[in-house]
Structure 1
Amino acid sequence: MIYKILRAPENAAFEAAGETAGAPIDLADGYIHFSTADQVAETAAKHFAGEDGLVLLAVAADGLGDALKWEPSRGGALFPHLYRRLFRSDILWSRPLPLVDGRHAFPEPLA
């Protein structure tokens, strides 16, 4: 399982269109950034600090085929990057990612 964090307007656009090329950073980098369960809290803290109204999307990595590449990023760790649009049919589940006492509250357990 891999995870994507979207801001509420990005998620609303994704829901309306049924697909997305990602957030502005994804468009700039040419792929959609994902995180593993072990990486996603740090991703939230680093790139979404203090932001409320986020949505966490869960995707089965195996279902993305060759378009998913594992590439070094923060500290040399391998991160999943999707080199195609993300479709609503790729999403296993989505949950709000509320801000509680200044930190994002993730659903438990993440697998």
Structure 2
Amino acid sequence: MFVYLAVGGGGGCEMDKSGGDGIEKRVPKDGFVYRVSTSAEWEALQKTGFMLGGDLDRRTGCVHLSDLDQVKVVLNNFFRGREGLYLLQIDAAKLGQGLIYEAAEGTYFPHFYGPDRSFQPLSLDCVNKAEKLEVQNEEFICSLLDQA
């Protein structure tokens, strides 16, 4: 399973499946992508079976995800000082062609758009595992992060 990288951002990027400049195939290292989720978002996902994400996700038309080696950076940059967070391990194969890596902040991050590149909710069926993130000595910890 591989996904295509797209250069550009926020739902309006061009995807070149031919492998042109700035585009390459990406296989998530462990077969999973990850979502830092609030407790309210995780509870709603369990209750309804799907998630549209937060304000940023709805505004940009995709669910923002991370590879495992990006999670700590995302936590430190966007979630420092917050509690009640969960780390969701998502089966990349179940996201299919809706999973696209896009350039952001000097690297590529996975985003889920849905199979036809229209904003689709993330299904609970795609979540392999969820762990509550604890804070210890100002660092986020959970067993999933031990593998990073």
TM over 0.5: yes
Q: Structure 2 regions of 5+ residues with no counterpart?
A: 1-31, 114-119
> Which residue does the alignment assign to 1:109?
147
1:42-53 maps to which residues of 2 (within 5 A)? Answer: 42-53=73-84
What residue is the counterpart of 2:87 in the other structure? 56
Q: Which residue of 2 aligns with 1:100?
A: 136
The answer to whether the 8 A contact 1:50-1:103 is kept is no
Aligned-CA RMSD value: 1.1
The answer to whether the aligner puts 1:78 opposite 2:114 as a matched pair is: no
Task: With a CA cutoff of 8 Å and minimum separation of 6, indicate the structure with the bigger relative contact order.
Answer: 1
Separation in structure 1 between the aligned mates of residue 39 and residue 81 of structure 2, nearest angstrom: 14
Residue 89 of structure 1: which of 125, 139, 147 is its match? 125
Q: Is the 8 A contact 1:19 1:88 kept in 2?
A: yes
Query: Could you tell me how far apart the structure 2 residues matched to 1:102 and 1:62 are?
Result: 34
- Cα deviation, 1:17-54, whole Å, max 9, x if unaligned, reads 11011122111111000000110100011110111110
Calculate the TM-score normalised by the size of structure 2.
Answer: 0.70
TM-score by length of 1: 0.92
How far 1:106 moved relative to its partner?
3.3
Q: Percent identity?
A: 28
* In structure 1, C-alpha distance between the alignment counterparts of 2:100 and 2:43, rounded to whole Å: 26
Letter in 2 for 1:100: Q
| Cα deviation digits, residues 69-100 of structure 1 (max 9, x gap) | 1110122x111000021111000000001111
Match of 1:22 among 41, 53, 58: 53
What secondary structure sits across from 1:38 in the alignment?
Answer: helix
Q: Following the alignment from structure 1 to structure 2, what is the Cα–Cα distance between the partners of residues 29 and 100?
A: 32
Partner Cα distance (1:106, 1:30) in 2: 29
Paired residue type of 2:42? N
